[in-house]
Structure 1
Amino acid sequence: MRLTVNGSSREYTGDPNQPLLWFLRDELGLTGTKFGCGVSACGACTVHVDGAPVTSCVTTMGTLDGRTVLTIEGLDGNGQHAVQRAWTEQNVPQCGYCQSGQIMAAAALLKAKPQPTEQDIDNAMTGIICRCGTYPRIREAIRRAAGLPTTAAER
Structure 2
Amino acid sequence: MSEDGEKDQEKDPKGPSRPDTAAARRARRASAGREGAGADAADGAKAPAPKGKASAASKSGKADKAGASPGKERPTPKRDRPDTKQPSLFRRLSRFLREVWAELRKVIWPNRKQMVTYTTAVLIFVVFMVSLVFVLDLGFNEVVALVFGD
Q: Which has the larger Rg?
A: 2
Q: TM-score, normalised by structure 1?
A: 0.22
User: Which one has a larger percent helix, Structure 1 or Structure 2?
Assistant: 2
Higher strand share: 1
RCO greater where, 1 or 2, for CA within 8 Å and sep 6 or more?
A: 1
